[in-house]
Every structure is written in C-alpha cells, then in structure tokens.
Amino acid sequence: MNRVRTGVDYETPRSWRQPRIPRLPVQLLLGVVAVSAFGSAWLLRDGASASANPATEDTEAIVDAAGSQLAAPLNTDTMTIPVDAVINDRGRETEPVVEVAAAGSDPLKTVAVSSTPQSAASVEADAVQTAPGDDSETPDEDVVDAIAKQIDDKPDQKDLHLPSGLRLKSSVVLVVDQKTNEVLASQNADAVQPIASLTKLMTALVVTDAKQPLDEVIEITSDDIDHIKHSYSRLTPGLKFTRRELLLLALMSSENRAASALARHYPGGTPAFVRAMNARAKSLGMAHTEYHDSNGLSSQNVSTAHDLVRLVDAAYKVPLIRDFSTHVEQTVKPGRRSMHFVSSNRLVRANNDWRIGLQKTGYTTEAGRCLVMQATVKGRPLVMVLLDSDGKMTRFADAQRVRSWVERGSSSTSLASSSKSSSRHRRGRARSSS
C-alpha cells in the first residue's frame, strides 16, 4: 500500500534499489556540451571567413613552398618546412612544422600538410596535388587547349551546299550525275561516319570478286549470331543455304547472319575477308573508308558520301549485285519449312514507276537510317546518298524529293560553284581519324 501511494518500495532492501542519478552533475554535463557546441560553431565561422583573413596567406605560402620543394630533387624521405604564422584554434600564433612526404619517382604525389594544432583555415591544404616541373600553365588550360585543337582538326560538319528549292531532312546528302560526275546536291558529303548495312555492298563485291561457287551450301552457326547489337534474325543456327541465297538475303533483306556466313566461308575466314574489303576500298580510291566486319554492325565501319558514290558505281557494274539488291521478294527453303523474305527498301516494294538500278539500306543507332541508290530520273542516271536520317520514312521521302526536284528541271541550275567549293574542301582537308 505504501508503494502505491509514495512510489517507494519500503519492503525491498535499500541495497537492491536502483541508485538515482544526481541531477546537478547531469545539468553541469549538459552545460559543458552546449558551450562546446557554441565554440565549435564560432570556430567554423572563423574558418569560413579565413579567405578574407591576411593570416591565411601564410598557409597558402606553405603549400606553394611544399610544391616548389617537390619540384626539386629529393635526397631524403621526409623534409620539413617551417611555418611562420598559422592561426590555431584559440587565435594564437604558433610555429608548427609541415611534413611533406617525398615524391620519389612518382610524378604526381599528394603533399600531406600537418600541423599541431591544425587550424580551420589550413583544412584546404591537407590534400594538395602538385605536378612538379609544370610551371607554365595550369592543367585546366591544357584541357582547354586540347579540346580546341580537336575542334580545329575536326572536319567541317556544316558544309552545306543544297541548292535553292531542295529541302531535305537527311544530315548527309550527295546527289551525283553518274554519267558526268556532276554534283547536283551536296551536304556534309565529306563527313566520316558509320555506314551500318551499306557495308554489305562491299561484302557483295568481295564475294563476287572471289568467284566462289554460288551453289555451295553454307550452314548458319552460332558464330554468325550478332553479339554487338543483338539484332534479330530468322536465320537460326543449323539452317543451310547456298552462297547465292545468302548473297541475295544480304542485299535484298539486309540479313546480318547471311553476310557473316559469307565472310566466314571466305578463304582464310572472316579476318581475311575484312582485309579484302579494305583492300578493295583502297583500290576504288575510298580514302576515308574502313571496314571491321562484313555486316555493318560495328560502328567502326565508316565512310563518306563521296566514297559511297564510288562504291555504288563499282557495285552497279556487277549484274548479280544489281539484280539481288533490287529484288522485291524471295522464298527459300533451307530446311523443312519455306521462308519468305522481302526487300528492306520501301521504294522497291511499292508499286510505283521508280527506275532503281541498285540500292541498299542501313540502320544502326550510331549511323542513323541510311540509303544509297542508283536510279534513272528523267533519263538521267543518278547516284543518291542519304545518310543519318532520323525517321523511318525520312530517307525514302528525301529520295522522292530529289526525284521531284530533278523532274521539275530545277537541277539544270546545278551546283557548279558549290561543287567546285566542295572539291576545294576535299583537297584541302586531311583525312580524319575514325
């Protein structure tokens, strides 16, 4: 009953009861904590304004001295630098010692600045990286100069020469009269960039140059699977096609595994095939073109619009390539079931009056949507190169715009002056690295 009223258990021995914490010591402890926190805030305020305090100039001098000693040869493992004036936590001047670890043979070394006691103003000097021997300019200036040099060395991407009345949406445009080599329209035609499946035109050239049996049966294997872009293909491992069928599917439907299998069954395998591709490009004068695979999935397969005109001209001279690239559809039977394929070019599939002699489409994220064509417009054989188009239909719409522009007779006022200007640009520009 007494425990209920008073809260004290009189029946429990005093030695068993929990001792009470005296209130006065606790209050004193809390007061000390509060004073310490206030003092720390005051010191932080002083540290924040240390840049306006003349005393901090001495600390910066210490760091500079440390950097200059690192630039000189070191004979000892550790050296000391006297500090004339460093403000400690209480505002008094002391003479601590700054220890700088020897840099040794390492050109970049962290300079550890230690003082006892350490002031808030010297916190920034605790981790200073010094590049010995570089007194001329700061690293930031080096970076800026390097970027500026890259911009100066980069080919002009704003080489715009589209004639008035022709508005195209592809980033790279080149329209050339195949008979006279007259440039009718040009835009960024010297830009070196990925060409995606336009690569397969060169693949077809190398295959036909090798004169391997077109009826030879080739099996698709796991080596033909795309591990770069993970693109979809209906040519599953185990299916067998003739070399003729694979060449047709590579040109008409842009089948990546077909192009890979053709390269793999070249004498010497795929590495020899890629070497043959680059050698053929060099023989055609395609100075800014480079190949790394046979299907164009590699972004390192690069070219220019001018080089691609040369490729189209060479491929157009091979009747088999002309026929296969403009094929509308084909049914093959590599196994028990038949497979139907169609052209990747909408202009070829559509029921229209286009006179297309050769074509090839291409697409990767890096290259954008691309199209090269040889077509006869108003009795005039033209080679069209349209690269880096955004939308799915843009390249085909641009081809239609070029055709309409030529049919209107606007091309009679061709780019004579612009063509000469473009030629001067090409002669004066060094080959860009890819």
- Give the residue numbers marked as catalytic: 197, 200, 254
CB 387 within 8 A of CB 305: yes
- Token pair belonging to 409: 């007779």
251-to-102, 314, 348, 392 alpha-carbon distances in Å: 65, 15, 12, 19
**Sign of the torsion angle spanned by Cα atoms 238, 239, 240, 244:** negative
Q: What angle do the packed helices 256-264 and 269-283 form, to 10 degrees?
A: 100
Distance CA 399, CA 386 (A): 8
Distance CA 142, CA 233 (A): 48
Question: Degrees (nearest 5) of the Cα angle 323, 328, 329?
Answer: 110
Token pair 């970049």 is found at: 108
Q: Is 251 left (phi over 0), alpha (psi -120 to 50) or beta?
A: alpha
End-to-end CA distance of the chain: 95
Distance CA 361, CA 373 (A): 9
As a dihedral over the C-alpha atoms of residue 388, residue 390, residue 392, residue 396, rounded to 10 degrees, the angle is -60
CB 130 within 8 A of CB 67: yes
105-to-108, 136, 433 alpha-carbon distances in Å: 9, 21, 35
Please, which residues bridge with residue 362 across strands? 370
